[in-house]
Structure 1
């Protein structure tokens, strides 16, 4: 284990960056009066939120969604898409990706302690949700086990894009449930505004949590080249719950990168190198420090190399050509006490090529090619999956056209198709080949200036993952013996979804209802039998990867009411909710570990650099459980945020304080394998400073 930096040094790194920059801007500091936009720090998104620009200036539907090959805004997409950016992203940043985006309707988080939280989209998780780093797979092993963290850092994100529902057309069979894309800007794609920009943050935790997170990012260059560097350090001790200490819940994370690009009117080409280090405890196997027995903890290391480029208008206005390539070397060791137990490794390459066009007849589209080659291995006591090499190659195409109709009405048609070839070759077992095919038709109807209706029809197919096919052994992280099925067929989903959006001066609202029928749905079933684990002299439940048809249906929505905009400030009320019901066919009962329904509300206020909010989210009881699965009680989480933002020219500051679980509720996450022994932190606060330059 690497030795963590001392607390004073660690917390001083971020603030030192600001201290170095301050003399350069001394003539501008600090004024509470707003600076003119032309002199504002380019990294400070708050300057774009001038009330004079309209009531909807904070509406993230206008943000470009980079996960779309046509570079659409969220408002242009017929697919259900959310973007988390700006103030809302700052207020929700957390140690795990799942927790960071869990305020989005239809999105919840798995939980294996604070160090691990993979996104769950509409009840689907694991290998059905593709996690991307600026459009490319993170290539970690977080889908193999719920105690494995995704190798991505939400504190470095410029924005996080969530594509809900089948997204297999763009990103392959691992996106049958959706995509979460963390956009970090490590490879600059355009000149840096003003020639130099950056941001930094120092955050400190108190109450039932302790520790700190420090982040710094710098971008610089001119119209011909741009350079980027970033770093994050997080250290958190075991947290407290309303019932006492949650042992072995510590986190120690270090990550950073450098990157650069050549730029011009022709486009860009660039590369980046990054390092991700994450040490965290498994609270499900906490050990007994009083008896000198340290719990199970994980040491994760990943080196990543990315190459990316794009050509602007290579064959006419509105066309584009983009390519990406990544290579990752991933390893994590699961320590049992101070002794290394199992070592998980993955070496992977991924490439992607997209060509977009804009035809004279109004059609826009893109065609693409995506390929990957990865080898996964697990060596040690918990090597329940054999060494497996997986190769995949896919081709896809999407097209769109809009028709203007009478009285301001508009109709938009989206078409798409994809074919993949996936081959899995395990050591000592027969290889498996799959050919998933995915198709999509979507329509968007702009009924008038306020209303828009969308309809989506999707057929998506997924090849089984390594652990689903070939697992055979004790999986100690989930305290079970897992058995795969090498005869599994590919999984297919047929979904229909209706969406309705409404915008006016008073309210922005959208709702979605979906019905998804799975053929040969792959799930982990508790057989009711046990296996004797001799080393610990205990019995582990036997769980078998199985297939059965299943149905998912759900409803989600949110609305923001603009209550007032006057001399006393701007007042907004945001409400949201979601629910999903998942059942197995032929009397199979409920799908296990489905996220409970939720309802939430948040009241926000802004005025003269100040902003504050108070919100609550009710997680309902989940009693629609599978065989041998226990129900989970409901709970209500109350949170609050406050910040003061002041600037002067090229340097801006923001002081903030956040509170979570303010009513000190005992909360257990139903989707977690550890829900009966691990609770969420109790009443906690955090505060610090953000700097934009």
Structure 2
């Protein structure tokens, strides 16, 4: 990536740069908009031709042949769903003739995934198998189309259904912390950043309904701007996925998938809602009085999304667009009272769009081709500018193809990205107006071998990239939240990763699990390090002189991360389920032969749960688990060592149907022994212990 400083540029040159930027943005938007308009204009509906429709019909039963009312049947490609009636029947009308993937789910049963062709020769008959295992039957994040995780070369996992309800947290990272290979960089118990295989922040891409989130969560004090409690399921891809989603997907991808609205076609109106009562306690002493003069973060995040899907010839077309407005302020003292401007005031507007064409099978080959566009405007205000105002434009073209030959499933994909960034001059940051142009090529190739039903051996090799953030490039001032003076690296190059992983997955009878090994090599790895110097700055709240340690962003030629993820679940008895999990990762700066910072300590846990028959209408469970975390003395820059510890957790709950509605009561006792420990991934570990005994009671229902 070339960097051209222009601190002495004339107004005419700056104007010319902005004009060039807007022309490039316009080209990207015009390409996507023109393609969408052409396809829509030539579709049968636009030409006034009647579009043929059909109805998807079927019945859902258990393995004994009894009807199962209350099961949810979802057509994944178009987001349509229906709930089975008292005789187990369902019907979804207004469907165009094509091949679809349906997902059938009901509490206490293993999910069911099937491909169907419309028009149907006969109504479907679906038999659900009772199961207490947390089986993920589908992922839409791994290939941009619905696929059984057993057939995906990419390592994936999901949080959904009853497990998601039990783990519901405000913080997305804390909700996912129970998954193997996923950890939390925490700032207290309500703010956290997800870590996937040792990577976090801008190296983990977060999606909302498959649309990328753009916010200021690269700061350690802020987490992703999405609430896990609104999700139907949360899918996680462990490992690079830039071939599908572009920059930032170096460590992995998290996709928060919302619940589909019930289908109201060919039937009366519907109403849906939910209610939740939450009560928690902790062994910490209560705070008698709020520090009204202390620093406060104010965050606002607004998103408008538009998604469409239609059949056009032999293609299933899908478009997704989003406008996101993200605002972040920090106020203290007079600024908190509204008597002075905020300490910093950042506003980010992002416009993004994807257009994807999924083609019908050509022989044994299925796949997708797509184009993406993005325009972003960052405005910096406030007393302390963290980054300069800037505009970013980007575009991409990608393709992914998959083929199944006998017991083998093969996948290959490629993506090309271009990006242009233009920043304004900022005297406080001592930065002139600058432009940066970059391009990157990502790729992925993988294979899955299934020697017998329920067993899969997978291997994957992926190349991904990450463009440096504005903060990493251009910051040059105090970062009071971290109590340090930070200096960016304006000529930083994009990171490029090459990841190889292999896994074995089992889903047979009462056993479900996966073990994966991986190595991720990242070139131009960008990180921050103390210089040993100090800088005196004026505190905007009161004008006192504050001495801060100086930190500077630097790049190393190569970094590597290698590790193991393990998750196994087994029904030891009809009413007893055993779950275990283990993950470990080592990160190394290959240039200095020193550990990378903030590498999670090895972790393992075992949980035993007694429960009623999984298919029972009224369910109850009680469980006990132990979490074991090793000491971490393999330290990177400014890391603090922590000792090993063990925690004991208890869980219990029940679900009852009252007045035709399910009510669920869940109780969790975390750290039941009130053990004192320090979490290596807690930003408070230097002056505070981890969470003490915590009792959480949650009552929830659907309305």
TM-score band (shorter)?
0.7 to 0.9
Q: Given that residues 43 and 692 in structure 1 are in contact (C-alpha distance below 8 angstroms), is that contact kept between their aligned partners in structure 2?
A: no
Higher deviation after alignment, 199-208 or 182-191: 182-191
Residue matched to 2:627: 617
2:276 is aligned, of 180, 187, 202, to 202
The 1:336/1:503 distance shift into structure 2, 3 A limit, reads same
2:318 to 316, 319, 322: 322
Aligned to 2:165, what secondary structure does the other structure show?
Answer: helix
Give the alignment of 1:89-100 within 5 angstroms: 89-100=164-175
Is 2:568 the counterpart of 1:559?
yes
Q: Deviations over 1:274-316 (max 9, x none)?
A: xxxxxxxxxxxxxx958x653212121122111111014x223
Structure 1 residues 64 and 498, CA gap change in structure 2 (3 angstroms) = closer
Match of 1:377 in 2: 379
Distance 2:567 2:148 in 1: 19
Tell me the CA shift for residue 366 of structure 1.
0.4
Q: Does the CA-based 8 Å contact 1:369-1:395 persist in structure 2?
A: yes
Q: CA separation in 1, counterparts of 2:664 and 2:576?
A: 20
- Asked whether the 8 Å contact 1:132–1:180 carries over to 2, the reply is yes
Aligned residue number for residue 587 of structure 2: 582
Q: Is structure 2 residue 242 aligned with structure 1 residue 180?
A: no
The equivalences for 1:514-663 within 5 A come to: 514-535=518-539, 536-548=544-556, 549-565=558-574, 570-607=575-612, 608=616, 609-647=619-657, 650-663=660-673
CA 1:191/1:372 → structure 2, altered by over 3 Å: closer, same or farther?
farther
Structure-2 residue corresponding to 1:68? 143
Equivalence map 1:274-293=2 (5 Å) = none
Distance in 2, Cα, partners of 1:116 & 1:327 = 24
1:90-122 CA-partner distances (Å, limit 9, x unpaired): 111112000000100110111122332121111
Q: Secondary structure at the match of 1:162?
A: strand
3-state secondary structure, aligned to 2:528 = strand
Q: Name whichever of 672-681 and 470-479 sits farther off.
A: 672-681
Measured in 2, the distance between the counterparts of 1:577 and 1:678 equals 26
Taking the TM superposition and a 5 Å limit, the aligned residue runs for 1:450-529 are 450-529=454-533
Q: Which runs of 5+ in 2 are unaligned?
A: 1-65, 73-81, 85-103, 111-126, 426-432
**Contact (CA 8 Å) 1:115, 1:149: kept in 2 or not?**
no
Q: Between 300-309 and 681-690, report the one with greater CA deviation.
A: 681-690
The residue number in structure 2 matching 1:37 is 68
Partner of 1:151, secondary structure, is coil
Contact 1:528 1:628 in 2 (8 A): no
- Which residue does the alignment assign to 2:417? 420
Structure 2 contact 108–130 (Cα < 8 Å) conserved: no
2:108 aligned with 1:49, yes or no?
yes
CA offsets 1:252-278 (integer angstroms, 9 cap, x no match): xxxxxxxxxxxxxxxxxxxxxxxxxxx
Compute the displacement of 1:387 (Å).
Answer: 1.3
Deviation at 1:194, TM superposition (A): 8.5
1:324-383 Cα offsets, whole Å, 9 max, x none, are 111122212212143432212111111111111133311011011111111223322442
CA–CA distance in structure 1, aligned partners of residues 271 and 562 of structure 2: 45
| Contact kept? 1:67, 1:135, Cα under 8 Å | no
Contact (CA 8 Å) 1:113, 1:678: kept in 2 or not? Answer: no
Task: Give secondary structure in 2 for the equivalent of 1:553.
Answer: strand
Q: Distance in 2 between the 1:422 and 1:521 partners? A: 19
Q: CA deviation at 1:123?
A: 0.7
Q: CA distance change for structure 1 residues 193 and 657 in 2, over 3 Å: closer, same or farther?
A: farther
- Structure 2 distance, partners of 1:457, 1:388, is 35
The separation in 2 between residues aligned to 1:185 and 1:350, in whole angstroms, is: 22
CA RMSD of aligned residues (A): 2.6
Partner secondary structure for residue 174 of structure 1: coil
C-alpha distance after superposition, 1:417-447 (max 9, x if no partner)? 1111112211123211111211111010112
Give the direction of change, closer, same or farther, for the CA distance of 1:350–1:553 in structure 2 (3 Å limit): same
CA, structure 1 residues 47+636, in 2 after alignment: closer, same or farther (shift >3 Å)?
same
Mapped to 2, the partners of 1:684 and 1:197 lie a distance apart of: 36
1:673 is displaced (CA, Å) by 3.9
Q: Deviations over 1:544-584 (max 9, x none)?
A: 1111111110101111121001xxxx211000010110010
CA separation in 2, counterparts of 1:657 and 1:70?
A: 36
> Per the alignment, do residues 89 and 332 of structure 1 end up closer, same or farther by CA in structure 2, a change over 3 Å counting?
same
Aligned to 1:395: 397
Partner of 1:98, secondary structure, is helix
Q: Does 1:355 align with 2:357?
A: yes
SS at match of 1:599: strand
Gaps of 5+ in 1: 1-34, 209-239, 248-287, 405-409
* Whole-Å separation in 1 of the counterparts to 2:380 and 2:671: 38
Alignment correspondent of 1:311: 310
Partner of 2:136, secondary structure, is helix
Write the mapping of 1:329-340 to structure 2, written as runs, cut at 5 A. Answer: 329-337=325-333, 338-339=336-337, 340=342
Structure 1 residue matching 2:604: 3-state secondary structure: strand
- TM-score, with normalisation over the residues of structure 2? 0.77
**Contact 2:150 2:505 (C-alpha < 8 Å) held by counterparts:** no
The 10-residue stretch of structure 1 (161-170 or 678-687) with the greater mean CA deviation from structure 2: 678-687
Question: Which deviates more from structure 2 when the two are superposed, residues 368-377 or residues 608-617?
Answer: 608-617
